[in-house]
Amino acid sequence: MSWLWAVFTVLAAGGQVLRNAQQKELTGTLGTVGATHVRFLFGLPFGLVFLALVLLATGQGLPPLNAAMLAWSAAAALAQISATALLLAAMRERSFVVTTAYAKTEPVQVAIFGLAFLGDRLSPGLALAIGIATAGVLIMSWPRRSAEEAFRWRPALLGIASGAMFAIAAIGFRGGIRALNDPNFVLAATTTLAFGLIIQTALLSAYLALFDRAKLIAICREWRPSMLAGFTGAFASQMWFLAFALESAAKVRTLALIEVLFAQILSRNLFKQRLASREALGILLIVAGVVLLLNL
């Protein structure tokens, strides 16, 4: 069962790429905030269904929520809202796959935050795997069109900031799962997911109701594509949380760099974006880092 976290991570990475692609399509009609809210508003019903199924299957009640769990999860929920909005904003500046790569500087930040807040220590092998895979991400992120594009700070800043917020969210949700201290890791992970989605849906719904009611109405009108984005988002989150319940956030988010490979496949088939030789080198380094990680 020691490999189970890796299976959950691969499933989560695939689901997340699909959700990002669906949100990218919605950004044109709903804007950044609207497309961000789709993930939570339409993901919440599925998150609650997942929780109901787990409770039914285990025959258990909800684990008691404590102050530490609530604090970790609330902080993570806020960070994830910010991360998603920053990622979608970055996607408007650069190609789908390169934007995903910018955000994937996250593992280094996860390792630092995990050590600082959760005491998740790094072995030399894990540090090397993170370094190799992140180097691949940075190589992929380097623009191929012109020297001028290399100094475009806005997309780089948005992507890296998104990665930082995702790192904080990963550490926060892992902290929330651990704070529940429930022997059933599936129940602990699913409870934390549902609580996080409730916070995120309430906050963004209230914001849009107060400051952009027309956008909230537009989201409801786009319910068909939004429902699919909500499901893929909730599914990906469920897999992430199960992985976080079993393994350190640094290992989970480093393996998650295979998302870049999935994004490349999707870009070639959906967005017709081609792969540069430098991006191919970056992908090879990511694969090398992931192979090392799985053999630790």
- Model confidence over 133-172: pLDDT tens digits? 888 877 776 655 544 454 456 767 777 888 889 899 999 9
Q: What is the domain count for the chain?
A: 1
Instruction: Give the predicted TM-score (pTM) of the model.
Output: 0.84
Q: Determine the pLDDT at residue 93.
A: 64
CA distance 282 to 141: 9
pLDDT of residue 45: 96
Confidence label for 44 from pLDDT (cuts 50, 70 and 90): very high
Instruction: With a cut of 80, say whether residue 21 has pLDDT above it.
Output: no
Q: Mean pLDDT over all residues of the chain?
A: 83
Give the contacts of 191 (CB within 8 A, at least 6 positions apart): 51, 62, 63, 65, 180, 182
Per-residue model confidence (pLDDT) at position 63: 92
Identify the domain containing residue 48 by its residue range: 4-294
- Band the pLDDT of 96: cuts 50, 70, 90: low
